[in-house]
Structure 1
Amino acid sequence: MVEYGQQRYYASKQYLLPADEAETARLNLQHRVVIQTFENQLSLAPLSLKSGDRILESAAGTGVWALEFLEENNEKGIILEMDCIDISDKQFARNYPSNLQFSLHSVTDLPVEWSTRFAYAHQRLLIAAMNDSLWRKAISELFRVLAPGGWVELVEIEAKDVHWDVGPSSTKVQSILTSLYGEKGVICDLGAYLPTLLKEAGFVEVQCVARNSPLGPSGFTGTEWGKFWKGLKRNVVDAGGYGFVTSGEEYEQLVDEAVIEWNSNPDKAYNTYYTILGRKP
């Protein structure tokens, strides 16, 4: 029997991160970091929404983005209808307005009746759940459910050209993630990959906006960033540690050492986030 230490809930084998209360707290903080990285904008798409338009949030998680997007539009007098989907309901908000609906769906297999339903589709940070085949299904489905003229907005993180190695332990942690993503078929250079995929699917006006977010006081602290890495423990342990660790306890100790390096070197390590946009003609 494999021991992971603290029990975590995982919604699937494909998605590498947990879906539990600890991850909910991390996702809500991550939301603030990502929004701050893009100049405090919830969306970069050139939208012209009107009351009654339907919006899709894929991989909604806690629904924090959807709730804020609805409220932002409410303040403009635009009352939207929002569908929030995820493969797990463990993190769905408990209280939400009647024009927002949560449901269990995968972006790779959306309901048939949703064709041309949405004026805008938003999705964020699915990198750890996807491989090439799944991305192609997802982009095809997003194209199908958007109305003509509708925009898709995908927010992702760079995982190929990364900059988390500020000391010996953080360098090992970075190498573990590279090995894990390689084994799972995760596409790491999404800033280049997704725009190409959108164009192949038929999207036009495709663009990619990149922003760097340092680890430190102005972004994720090293301590908070360490929670992401500890969420990967199940997969690292199941894979035998990739030659760097031999147990969950040893992996957690390595992450704790990396956290010290990140906290001791503010702004030297950073994440690169991408917002990729496309319009359905």
Structure 2
Amino acid sequence: MGNFKSTLKKIPSNPSKKGRSKLKEPEPELEPEPQILVEENKPKYYLSNRGDENLDRQHFNHFFRKHIFGNNFSAPIGRRLAQGECKVLDVGCGPGTWLLDLAHKYKNVKFVGIDIEPTVYPNEIKPGNINFYQADIFDGLPFPDNEFDFVHQEIMALIIKADQWNFVISELIRVTKPGGFIELVEYIAPDDNGPILSKIYQTHYDLCLKRGVDTSLIPHLDNMMMSQNYISQVNKDEKTFIIGPNGGKVGITILEIIISFIMSDIATEDISFQQGIDKEEHKNRFKNLDEELKGTSPKLKLCRFWAQKNDN
């Protein structure tokens, strides 16, 4: 999961399509600072990269998504990767798990990952066909037009504000070569929820709106992509599964991922404040959630939206 600081830098009002500034090489830091994104008078963004537990969750989440789909991508780029001599970009790469997984398999492909926080991805021990750079998508991607055969962005919907999506997608398309592919991967909020899970997701939705993030837009990313230049068709690869014990091993696994996210210290603080309860009550609620999920089958969707850039 990426961690761009959307509140720190302003989006260019008229971004140039002639390429971007040079990549910023990350400076070494002895101790990573907590990644708590704050806007004045607005709630914190609590998907933190701080600490081994949060990084482990991101690694684990990658392999969960890979298991659900049975592969690392849905766009028909596999043959081109196998042939080598192509370039792949991962935007908001976080600890770089997706790139590392692919780089070991496709040794003749050049992989590039960008994230605003340089302390989360490996810069010393990594395959020679990967480079990581510090960059902020909201300033525009620091690459020239038509640079990559495949541009990938995963689980950024809790970071990108409603009025930033068109710019972000246009940048992904801009740096993709004609005939290359763009792929977005996101979860869609579950339905058929019981009262406890409904309350949790409604609170999360409300907190996101206070930061300008509208998670109700996620199911419509295909329409946003279609509205862009150079895109004439968008494909959607969707998997649905049940949260909790009624979903088998997959359901139990995704429940663990969800709980680890909303039980973090930052999430606990924000959710309990939003609901007007103390932190201990927020934590105790999950004892009842286990019981609720035995009698309900909330359905969560994981979607890949992918498109090929037109030649003209």
Identify if the C-alpha distance between structure 1 residues 280 and 81 changes in structure 2 by more than 3 Å, giving closer, same or farther.
same
In the other structure, the counterpart of 2:198 is 171
The equivalences for 1:9-158 within 5 A come to 9-13=34-38, 15-20=45-50, 21-38=52-69, 40-47=70-77, 48-49=80-81, 50-74=83-107, 79-93=108-122, 95-158=125-188
Question: Which digits, 9 at most, give the CA deviation of each residue in 1:147-197, with x for residues without a partner?
Answer: 1111001001113xx23733x433321221122123233232445421111
Among all aligned residue pairs of Structure 1 and Structure 2, give the percentage whose two residues are the same amino acid.
21
Which residue among 194, 200, 211 is the counterpart of 2:239?
Answer: 211
Matched-pair contact (CA < 8 Å) for 1:56–1:122: yes
RMSD value over aligned CA atoms? 2.5
The alpha carbon displacement at 1:68 in A equals 1.2
Q: Which runs of 5+ in 1 are unaligned?
A: 1-7
The alpha carbon displacement at 1:259 in A equals 4.8
The alpha carbon displacement at 1:57 in A equals 0.5
Q: TM (normalized to structure 1)?
A: 0.82
Residue 222 of structure 2 corresponds to residue 195 of structure 1: yes
Question: Which digits, 9 at most, give the CA deviation of each residue in 1:14-58, with x for residues without a partner?
Answer: 7441112221111111112211221x1111101134422111001
Which letter maps to 2:285? Answer: L
Identify if the C-alpha distance between structure 1 residues 164 and 27 changes in structure 2 by more than 3 Å, giving closer, same or farther.
farther
The alpha carbon displacement at 1:99 in A equals 1.4
Matched-pair contact (CA < 8 Å) for 2:90–2:112: yes
Identify if the C-alpha distance between structure 1 residues 145 and 15 changes in structure 2 by more than 3 Å, giving closer, same or farther.
farther
The equivalences for 1:191-270 within 5 A come to 191-202=218-229, 203-216=231-244, 217-219=249-251, 220-231=253-264, 234=266, 237-238=269-270, 241-242=273-274, 244-259=275-290, 261-262=292-293, 264=294, 268-270=297-299
In the other structure, the counterpart of 2:5 is none
Q: Which runs of 5+ in 2 are unaligned?
A: 1-32, 39-43
Matched-pair contact (CA < 8 Å) for 1:122–1:153: yes
The alpha carbon displacement at 1:118 in A equals 0.6
C-alpha separation in 2, matches of 1:154 and 1:221: 20
Identify if the C-alpha distance between structure 1 residues 223 and 194 changes in structure 2 by more than 3 Å, giving closer, same or farther.
closer
Matched-pair contact (CA < 8 Å) for 1:16–1:129: no
C-alpha separation in 1, matches of 2:185 and 2:140: 20
Matched-pair contact (CA < 8 Å) for 1:153–1:276: yes
C-alpha separation in 2, matches of 1:104 and 1:260: 44
Question: Which digits, 9 at most, give the CA deviation of each residue in 1:97-154, with x for residues without a partner?
Answer: 1210111112233444432111101111101101122212211111111111110010
Residue 298 of structure 2 corresponds to residue 275 of structure 1: no
The alpha carbon displacement at 1:253 in A equals 3.0
Which letter maps to 1:59? Answer: G
Secondary structure of the 1:114 match is coil
Matched-pair contact (CA < 8 Å) for 1:173–1:258: no
Matched-pair contact (CA < 8 Å) for 1:119–1:146: yes
Which letter maps to 1:66? Answer: L
**Structure 1 segments (4+ residues) deviating >6 Å:** none
Which letter maps to 1:204? Answer: S
Identify if the C-alpha distance between structure 1 residues 111 and 58 changes in structure 2 by more than 3 Å, giving closer, same or farther.
closer
Identify if the C-alpha distance between structure 1 residues 277 and 223 changes in structure 2 by more than 3 Å, giving closer, same or farther.
closer
Q: How many residues align?
A: 262
Matched-pair contact (CA < 8 Å) for 2:157–2:218: no
Secondary structure of the 2:117 match is coil
C-alpha separation in 2, matches of 1:59 and 1:121: 11
C-alpha separation in 1, matches of 2:141 and 2:59: 28
The alpha carbon displacement at 1:275 in A equals 0.3
Identify if the C-alpha distance between structure 1 residues 82 and 258 changes in structure 2 by more than 3 Å, giving closer, same or farther.
same
C-alpha separation in 2, matches of 1:51 and 1:111: 24
The alpha carbon displacement at 1:240 in A equals 6.6
Which letter maps to 1:223? Answer: E
Mean Cα deviation higher: 26-35 or 245-254 = 245-254
Matched-pair contact (CA < 8 Å) for 1:109–1:141: no
